[in-house]
Structure 1
Amino acid sequence: MTTCAQRLIELLEAQGIDTVFGIPGVHTVELYRGLEHSGLRHVTPRHEQGAGFMADGYARASGRPAACFIITGPGMTNIATAMGQALADSVPMLVISSVNTVSTLGRGQGRLHEMPHQGQTLAGVARFSHTLLDPEALPEVLARAFAVFQGARPGPVHIEIPIDLFAAPVKAPMPAAMRVFPPAPAPQAVAAASRLLGEAQRPLVLVGGGACAAATSVTALVEHLDAPTLTTINARGLLGADHPLDLGATASLPATRRLARQADVILALGTELGETDYDLVFDDGFKLEGSLIRVDLDAEQLARSHIADLALVADIGLTAEALLVALERGEDEGRPQREVGRERCERVRHELALADDPELARYRPLFTTLDEVLPEAIIVGDSTGPVYAGNVVARRPAPRRWFNAATGFGTLGYGLPAALGAGLARPDLPVVALVGDGGLQFVLGELATARDIALEADRARAEQGSIDRDSSDLACADTALARPLAILIWNNDGYDEIRRYMSADGVAHVGVDLAPPDFAALAQAFDCRYRQAASADDLASALSSLNDAGSPLIVEIDALAWCRQLEH
């Protein structure tokens, strides 16, 4: 007999899920019965919010969803914040939860973990939430989830299973995994868009996180158009580290806004045109006056924020390829004289004068050091000063190497657990968590998860020592190891960004001047290495030792000492 819980494990494996984040509870014990002998890796965070952030970081770094196993009631309210962040940034995440027995649902009897309308509550932070009442329907519900992940605008999906159904028998045979292909652009829409772009005198391209899987085709299109391009925070690195047409996430700055207003045709690819990417000064000052072409997998999104003149519900990569072919074909009819895109970008960079910005100056040595010591790293940020600055100045060689919680939902406590998820997804790359002392205190318990992951990697390395170096098994085993994690703590004694807002608005500093913990003692308690850094040289020395041991490396940067050193 195959139970519902066992079939769930089989279906997850068939759909390509390889990692599950969860904290076992009395309502989910049955889910764990078959987990030991499956191919799924289970990671235990110290809080369900951490589980969600880890799944978020895993998906952003790899482009593949992970699963979370979460208990009824408090487990679901704990993970809701992480689901909200993933929903805001269109990050796939599969949340499997328990719920009370079928016969008690909605009756308010005071059962353990009972939560009125759990599915309805979670529906607000999910693409959809489904209560499974028939075990035989499980393959259909999971297929719906992966249809969203693969063929529509992704985000969290919640499936709750009553605890009395986990052990229920499933009679239907194991179905094959469904493959979903995203929609291609309509030929007439491609023709219309290529005509607009081909006739443009001052084209502009806006690229969002929805284009991360299409870096090659989008780059080719941008270069063919010779168009200045704004890559959002979640699209950082899509055009590479130093592309002459990439103006990055500078849409909130005056010079870039003038460029946007002057553009006669704008092509927006996989971006929701949201406030945290285009209006970080919160004045609704980002205006588009030219013809707007939008491409997105979500039809409704095409009419939000900025209504498109021409809207394509389609995959970004397929659309970029089709537009490139149409534009090349149309060049036989002649191309209008237009301003050189690189020259337009250079004028904007000159006006932006980011190198002379005193607010960014204190952070530049930090990012220069990261580029020099860990050029290939994935950098995962919390909401903190260096991350806000890095959203403008950080350079990454490829997409999925820079993401943080400053976009969308804007949660604190994201950086460390999301970095752990990213490291598990991409063990071939170093990972850096860039956090503030305030935000890190939301999730201090996840230092224990970082330690556990490091210990597991050490055990795997020890086992590899007994493998024949000529064996092909070794290469396979290498990919399962998580590399040491670097945790950079920007310590400014509290919530400095909020202090600045209070000062600007004439509000007394209440609740923001917080004494940080002894991070050196915490590092020792959680078996982490610890270094202090008051200068770029200190930071470079610390990061150079990252791979000297398997344990996580905590580097505490005294923000005041760092800034004083720069002044001298």
Structure 2
Amino acid sequence: MNTIGEALISLLEAHGVDTVFGIPGVHTVELYRGLARSKIRHVTPRHEQGAGFMADGYARASGRPGVAFVITGPGLTNTITAMGQARADSVPMLVISGVNATPTLGKGLGHLHELPDQRGMMEKVALFSHRITQAGELPGVLARAFALFSSARPGPVHIEIPTDVMVKPADGLAALLTNAAPPVPDSAAIAKAAKLAMSARRPLILAGGGAKRADAPLKRLAEMLGAPVVQTANARGLLHRHPLCVPASPSLKAVRALMADADLVIAAGTEFGPTDYDGYSDGGFVLPANLIRIDIGADQLARRAATVSIQADCSEALEALLAEIGKAPAVSGDGPARAAAAREAAFAEIGSAMQAQMHAVEAIRDTVPGSIIVGDSTQPIYAANLYYDHDRPGGWFNAATGFGALGYGPPAAIGAALAMPGVPVVCLTGDGGFQFTLPELGVALDAAAPVIFVVWNNRGYREIETSMLDVGVEPVGVSPAPPDFCKLADAYGIAAERLAGTGGLPEALKRARATGLPYIIEITVD
């Protein structure tokens, strides 16, 4: 006889799940009965927040949902931060938790890990939360989750199973594989958008995270229209070194000027979030008057007015738009000149200090080409989010925009490395943020994940200190003492080295890559 806990594992396998991040506990023991006999790899983080961040990094790198198993109560609340980050950045994540026995729920009797209303709490952050009460519900709720991941703007989904339900019989359950697809682009909307595009003289494309897997059609459309392509942080890696590429934040005045000069803006997969478009909180961003929006989510399209709204996957919508426009000369008009002027002005605008930090990121890219760079909230990441051209579509992501969870980088990088074996992964984190999730180094060791951890050590929260000084607040609480990261690495059995400044970074990266193992490079800066 199979139990619901065992059936869950079989159904996850049927949906293509190959990795689960989780920490077993007394409320999930029955899930592990099936896991031990399955082909699914189990990765044990040191904290449930790490499980969520690893699932996030796995999903962003691979495009497949990341899955986490956590216990009820504190296990699940520890995961909420990671779910919040995934919700903000539209990352497909499936969190499966236990919950106390059905007869005890909502009674307030003081059972272990009890919450007043666990599912009600999760409904506030997850796209949906479902409690399994009978075996027959399981195939349907999993199908609903995976259909959402593939056909709509994704995010975190929560499924909880009471401990008394996990052990119920569940023979004969078959997976419901829906093959759900995104909405087909509306032909009338495509025709109207194509007409606008063909009549534009100074078109511009804004690419967001929703377009990061649409590199080929985006490039063809940009060349057909002669349209510069401005990328938000989550879109970096598209059109690398292309004459029409503008790898700069829309929060910069130079980019805003480029947008204001455009007579048509095509926004693909971007929600116009303030951390991308109004990063300095100066209120200077103005929604373009002549705007074509492409987004997979109807709710997102409804939040911002547009001349034409197209609900579809970005790749499909761009392909449909290309087909409607037809053939045209490549790189027409003055698009390359407009893009070049915007790049030059944006680079100058970020100033010498941020230019230097951005050059350190370029050194990583050029020494480890084709890598996935996973960032935390640290100064070089802030600088590169303002201006930086990555060389791999979908290969640049961090938590310094949107939800902004500190400590994201190290576990997310581990998840990315496990999702994409053979692809180099570099984590760029600060000494402050690294201390949020330091214990996850043990996971890199356990899983032999060859992540290169580059630690920008300026002995504190310097970005926050600067913010305090800028508004006349005496800095308090911004100088937590960092550990000796090299000694800490040695305690884990991980090789490490310390650099004074960034001059020796390329050679250190080469040494790190040669090991094929986790490696720490600490950079001490003023």
Tell whether the structures are fold-level matches, with TM greater than 0.5.
yes
1:109 aligns with 2:109: yes
Q: Deviations over 1:460-495 (max 9, x none)?
A: xxxxxxxxxxxxxxxxxxxxxx4x211111011110
- For residue 356 of structure 1, report the CA deviation from its aligned partner: 8.0
- For residue 380 of structure 1, report the CA deviation from its aligned partner: 0.4
User: Which of 470, 473, 476 is the equivalent residue of 1:510?
Assistant: 476
Asked if the contact 2:139/2:175 (under 8 Å) is kept, the reply is: yes
Asked if the contact 1:355/1:361 (under 8 Å) is kept, the reply is: no
- CA distance in 1: counterparts of 2:173 and 2:72, whole angstroms: 29
1:131-150 equivalent positions in 2, closer than 5 A: 131-150=131-150
Asked if the contact 1:237/1:395 (under 8 Å) is kept, the reply is: yes
- CA distance in 1: counterparts of 2:124 and 2:94, whole angstroms: 15
Q: Name the SS of the counterpart of 2:438 in structure 1.
A: coil
User: Which of 365, 368, 372 is the equivalent residue of 1:374?
Assistant: 368
Asked if the contact 1:532/1:538 (under 8 Å) is kept, the reply is: no
Structure 1 residues 51 and 321: CA distance shift in structure 2, 3 A:
same
Q: Which residue of 2 aligns with 1:346?
A: 340
Q: Which residue of 2 aligns with 1:84?
A: 84
1:325 aligns with 2:319: no
Q: Which residue of 2 aligns with 1:533?
A: 499
1:486 aligns with 2:427: no
- CA distance in 1: counterparts of 2:173 and 2:44, whole angstroms: 31
Q: Which residue of 1 aligns with 2:510?
A: 544
Structure 1 residues 339 and 288: CA distance shift in structure 2, 3 A:
farther
Asked if the contact 2:233/2:249 (under 8 Å) is kept, the reply is: no
Q: Name the SS of the counterpart of 1:540 in structure 2.
A: helix
User: Which of 312, 317, 333 is the equivalent residue of 2:310?
Assistant: 312
Q: Which residue of 1 aligns with 2:37?
A: 37
- CA distance in 2: counterparts of 1:279 and 1:319, whole angstroms: 27
Asked if the contact 1:263/1:288 (under 8 Å) is kept, the reply is: no
Structure 2 residues without counterparts, runs of 5 or longer: none
1:184 aligns with 2:184: yes
Q: Name the SS of the counterpart of 1:198 in structure 2.
A: helix
Q: Which residue of 2 aligns with 1:400?
A: 394
Of stretches 206-215 and 84-93 in structure 1, the one that deviates more from structure 2 is 206-215
Q: Name the SS of the counterpart of 1:180 in structure 2.
A: coil
Q: Which residue of 2 aligns with 1:418?
A: 412
Q: Which residue of 2 aligns with 1:554?
A: 520
- CA distance in 1: counterparts of 2:259 and 2:506, whole angstroms: 38
Q: Which residue of 1 aligns with 2:232?
A: 232
Q: Deviations over 1:489-509 (max 9, x none)?
A: 101111000000011011111
Q: Which residue of 2 aligns with 1:22?
A: 22
1:273 maps to a residue whose letter is F
- CA distance in 2: counterparts of 1:132 and 1:116, whole angstroms: 18
- CA distance in 2: counterparts of 1:302 and 1:378, whole angstroms: 30
Q: Name the SS of the counterpart of 1:267 in structure 2.
A: strand
Q: Name the SS of the counterpart of 1:213 in structure 2.
A: coil
- For residue 551 of structure 1, report the CA deviation from its aligned partner: 3.5
Q: Which residue of 2 aligns with 1:473?
A: none
1:38 maps to a residue whose letter is S
1:386 aligns with 2:368: no
Asked if the contact 1:6/1:31 (under 8 Å) is kept, the reply is: yes
- For residue 537 of structure 1, report the CA deviation from its aligned partner: 3.7
Q: Name the SS of the counterpart of 1:170 in structure 2.
A: coil
Q: Name the SS of the counterpart of 1:78 in structure 2.
A: helix
- CA distance in 2: counterparts of 1:491 and 1:179, whole angstroms: 46
Q: Which residue of 1 aligns with 2:216?
A: 216
Q: Deviations over 1:242-264 (max 9, x none)?
A: 11111123211111111112222
Structure 1 length as normaliser, TM-score? 0.90
- CA distance in 2: counterparts of 1:215 and 1:362, whole angstroms: 28
Q: Deviations over 1:21-41 (max 9, x none)?
A: 000000001100111221101
Structure 2 length as normaliser, TM-score? 0.97
Asked if the contact 1:493/1:513 (under 8 Å) is kept, the reply is: yes
Q: Deviations over 1:280-307 (max 9, x none)?
A: 1112211134311111111111122x31
Of stretches 515-524 and 66-75 in structure 1, the one that deviates more from structure 2 is 515-524
Q: Name the SS of the counterpart of 1:445 in structure 2.
A: helix
Superposition misfits of 4+ residues, deviation over 4 angstroms: none
Q: Deviations over 1:139-158 (max 9, x none)?
A: 00000101110000000100
Asked if the contact 1:261/1:288 (under 8 Å) is kept, the reply is: no
Q: Deviations over 1:298-321 (max 9, x none)?
A: 1111122x3112111111111101
Structure 1 residues 339 and 286: CA distance shift in structure 2, 3 A:
farther
Identity in percent: 52
Of stretches 281-290 and 405-414 in structure 1, the one that deviates more from structure 2 is 281-290
2:321 maps to a residue whose letter is L
Asked if the contact 1:62/1:400 (under 8 Å) is kept, the reply is: no
Of stretches 217-226 and 390-399 in structure 1, the one that deviates more from structure 2 is 390-399
Asked if the contact 2:4/2:165 (under 8 Å) is kept, the reply is: yes
Q: Which residue of 2 aligns with 1:463?
A: none
- For residue 445 of structure 1, report the CA deviation from its aligned partner: 0.9
- For residue 350 of structure 1, report the CA deviation from its aligned partner: 3.2
Structure 1 residues 356 and 296: CA distance shift in structure 2, 3 A:
closer
- CA distance in 1: counterparts of 2:263 and 2:83, whole angstroms: 38
Structure 1 residues 221 and 342: CA distance shift in structure 2, 3 A:
same
1:449 aligns with 2:443: yes
Asked if the contact 1:11/1:177 (under 8 Å) is kept, the reply is: no
Q: Name the SS of the counterpart of 2:148 in structure 1.
A: helix
1:284 aligns with 2:283: yes
Asked if the contact 2:346/2:387 (under 8 Å) is kept, the reply is: no
Q: Name the SS of the counterpart of 2:242 in structure 1.
A: coil
Q: Which residue of 1 aligns with 2:243?
A: 244
Asked if the contact 1:201/1:338 (under 8 Å) is kept, the reply is: no
Q: Name the SS of the counterpart of 1:139 in structure 2.
A: helix
2:251 maps to a residue whose letter is S
Q: Which residue of 1 aligns with 2:161?
A: 161
Asked if the contact 2:502/2:523 (under 8 Å) is kept, the reply is: no
2:312 maps to a residue whose letter is A
Q: Name the SS of the counterpart of 1:380 in structure 2.
A: strand
Asked if the contact 1:53/1:418 (under 8 Å) is kept, the reply is: yes
Aligned length, in residue pairs: 525
- CA distance in 2: counterparts of 1:421 and 1:287, whole angstroms: 37
Of stretches 22-31 and 518-527 in structure 1, the one that deviates more from structure 2 is 518-527
- CA distance in 2: counterparts of 1:13 and 1:435, whole angstroms: 34
Q: Name the SS of the counterpart of 1:555 in structure 2.
A: strand
Structure 1 residues without counterparts, runs of 5 or longer: 455-481, 561-568
- For residue 418 of structure 1, report the CA deviation from its aligned partner: 0.3
- CA distance in 2: counterparts of 1:263 and 1:229, whole angstroms: 12
- For residue 77 of structure 1, report the CA deviation from its aligned partner: 0.7
Q: Deviations over 1:177-215 (max 9, x none)?
A: 221111110111110110111111211111111112222
Q: How large is the RMSD of aligned CA atoms in angstroms? A: 1.7
- CA distance in 2: counterparts of 1:181 and 1:210, whole angstroms: 15
